[in-house]
Amino acid sequence: MTATMPDPTDEAAGVLDDEKLKAALGNRTRPDRPGPVAASLTFGWRAMLKIKHVPEQLFDVTMFPIMFTLLFTYLFGGALAGSPSEYIQLLAPGILVQTVVFITMYAGMGLNNDIKKGVFDRFRSMPIWRPAPMVGLLLGDAVRFVLASIVVLVLSLIIGFRPEGGPLGVIAGIALTIVFAFSISWIWTLLGLVMRTPEAVLNTAMTVLFPVIFASNIFVDPDTMPGWLQSVVDLNPITHLTTAVRGLMGTGAETSDLIWVFASSAVLIAIFAPLTMRRYSRL
């Protein structure tokens, strides 16, 4: 900055320049509008920037799975599976499912926050493909899913996870988890559109996810549970997802579990994606 009079206000950071303002307004460049993919990718880039500027949001994505894996393996491993190293073979795919499924809330919270803050109004008043801002949020989720999966996987490998399915099996397991996660995301995007605050979205999602996650076969063998709970666990899509991921990372998944996972994903999307989009277009 050139030497100007010191100014007491922080507005001194800059003054309007009338000439430059005129020039900037006179610049009538009108490029062609981007297509749906380009617009969505730009919003995905925005999601990356937000992770860069607010890295705290990666805390849940990395620290929780680390804590859960270590705590469960060493506290309960001996009791539940004979030894920690035996338990981690069962637990690692389960923790992966649990972690990724919890992360699905971010898109809904982000959407709610954008609407509440007013940024969404700007996006919606622009001549762009309408779902693009939402797709961008989901792309942000995808990055978090992959990151969390890598954290869980690396930690599990360190403490003794030995997947028999090899790299391909592991990748298939992660991919299946992410497919299911994207179908759940639609529930939270709908909540994000309907609810008043991001905290409300978070609380509702937690209230739904906690029992669903724990009433599954992620942590313990359902055979030890009372009969009525076993039937609940059996109906829980998380159970089938976990079993399928264990299979893929191990000696192969049962077709029935895969069908369960794909069918429940399809049902979730068939119900919540149209509801979300309808609500979104009426915003």
Does position 6 interact with other proteins (CB under 8 A)? The reply is: no
**Torsion 79-85-90-91 (CA) sign:** positive
CB of 202 to other proteins, least distance (A): 18
User: Which residues fall within 8 angstroms of residue 272, CB to CB, at 6 or more apart?
Assistant: 183, 186, 187, 189, 190
251 three-class SS: coil
Does position 196 interact with other proteins (CB under 8 A)? The reply is: no
Segment interacting with other proteins, rule: CB under 8 A, options 45-53, 80-88, 204-212, 262-270: 45-53
**Between 263 and 282, how does the x/- string for binding to other proteins read (CB under 8 A)?**
-------------------x
User: Which residues fall within 8 angstroms of residue 43, CB to CB, at 6 or more apart?
Assistant: 132, 133, 135, 136, 137, 139
Q: Which of 2, 4, 125, 224 binds other proteins (CB under 8 A)?
A: 125
Does position 234 interact with other proteins (CB under 8 A)? The reply is: no
CB of 13 to other proteins, least distance (A): 5
Q: Which of 119, 175, 235, 266 binds other proteins (CB under 8 A)?
A: 119
Distance in angstroms (rounded) separating the CA atoms of residues 270 and 264: 10
Q: Which of 37, 49, 150, 206 binds other proteins (CB under 8 A)?
A: 49
> Nearest CA to 249 among 153, 160, 181?
153
CB of 147 to other proteins, least distance (A): 18
Q: Which of 2, 3, 4, 14 binds other proteins (CB under 8 A)?
A: 14
**3-state secondary structure string across 205-258:** HHHHHHHHHHCCCCCCCHHHCCHHHHHHHHHCHHHHHHHHHHHHHCCCCCHHHH
Does position 3 interact with other proteins (CB under 8 A)? The reply is: no
What residue has token string 């979104």? Answer: 280
Q: Can you read off the two tokens belonging to residue 69?
A: 């894996």
Segment interacting with other proteins, rule: CB under 8 A, options 120-128, 162-170, 197-205, 239-247: 120-128
Give contact residues for other proteins (rule: CB under 8 A).
Answer: 1, 9-11, 13-18, 20-34, 38-39, 42, 45-46, 49-50, 53-54, 117-119, 121-128, 132, 282-283
